[in-house]
Amino acid sequence: MEIGISTLCTVGKTFKVMDELLSLKIGLLEVLDEWKDRLTKARVKVLNELCASFPLKYTVHGPILDLNIASSNPRVRTCALKLILESMERAHDIGAEVYVVHPGLRTPLENLVPNVNSSLNLYSLEKIVSYGEKIGLKVAIENMPANTPCLLQRTEEFFSLMENGLSIYIALDVGHANTTSQLEAFLSKLNDRIIHLHLHDNYGKDDEHRIIGDGTVNWSLLRERIRQNKVSAVVENNNLEDARRSFERAIQLFRS
């Protein structure tokens, strides 16, 4: 299993501190295509030059701020999709092995029109997955944390996507699954769909992105159940020092 680091830990300054990231001897970098780190043509060139000089592979996390692919407002939804599809093209340009996408959000309208956001979420994910297939980019849908308006927090929601004809891959966010008490469910029911992992810890309530081992995630269960030869993984922490420590613990956990 290839283990790397997400640029969440350097958000807003990733391309200014790339040397610090590479000094950690990582073989996999997940680029968060967002805010000040948005992938431009110039940055695509930089990343391609880096992987020509270093043994480095990429995954890309699509944009997440202020987007709702399940919005009942078609203009908002269309804008969100446009940004994600453009991001997917740039991910393809750097040879990303996986593209991670967030599902949409529930809105108050769902209280009046049941499942309206869930249906629109399916519609948008169909567009995203189809476009990934068209350009040769493998899309992985991320499970979301508890206590948020996000869709796709539980395994049954992913099964609903498949029952509606969507062929899916999953980016299992281990910390998110801990907040919903769904880690065992994902590993037992959807293991064959999991191709990528986000590794971080918490105490089961909030999405804290703590260092691996500093929380209540059942890491032994993950190590025992996950198909290590079928997945990639990145640590996902809030600062570079925490990411460094998590990366070291992840290497020890899965390779000892």
pLDDT digits (tens, 9 = 90+) for 59-105: 999 999 999 999 999 999 999 999 999 999 999 999 999 999 999 99
Q: Give mean pLDDT, residues 177-194.
A: 98
Q: Give 182's pLDDT tier (boundaries 50, 70, 90).
A: very high
Q: What are phi and psi of 115, to 5 degrees?
A: 70, 10
CATH number where 53 lies:
3.20.20.150
d(CA 59, CA 51): 12
The helix (run of H) or strand (run of E) holding residue 101 is strand 99-101
Share above pLDDT 90 across residues of the chain, in percent, rounded to a whole number: 99
Which value, in Å, is the radius of gyration of the alpha carbons in the chain?
17
User: Quick one: which of 93, 22, 68, 64 has its CA closest to 173?
Assistant: 64
Label residue 215 by pLDDT band (50, 70, 90): very high
CA distances from 152 to 93, 179, 246, 249 (A): 28, 13, 26, 28
The total domain count for the chain is: 1
Q: What is the pLDDT of residue 44?
A: 98
Task: Give me the mean pLDDT over the 34-39 stretch.
Answer: 98
Neighbours of 7 (CB within 10 A): 26
C-beta separation of 101 from 128 below 8 A = yes
Please answer whether residues 130 and 176 qualify as being in contact, where contact means their C-beta atoms are separated by less than 8 angstroms.
Answer: no
Q: How far apart are CA 233 and CA 155, in angstroms?
A: 20
- Looking at every residue in the chain, the average pLDDT score rounds to 98
What is the distance between the alpha carbons of residues 96 and 131, in angstroms, rounded to a whole number? 15
- The pLDDT of residue 248 is 98
SS3 state of residue 130: helix
Q: Which helix (H) or strand (E) element contains residue 184?
A: helix 183-189
Is residue 35 classed as helix, strand or coil in its secondary structure?
A: helix
pTM for the full model? 0.98
> Is there a contact between 250 and 24 (Cβ–Cβ < 8 Å)?
no
Residue 35 pLDDT > 80: yes
Give the per-residue pLDDT at 256: 74
Residue 192 has pLDDT above 90, yes or no: yes
Domain that holds residue 179: 2-255
pLDDT for 45 equals: 98
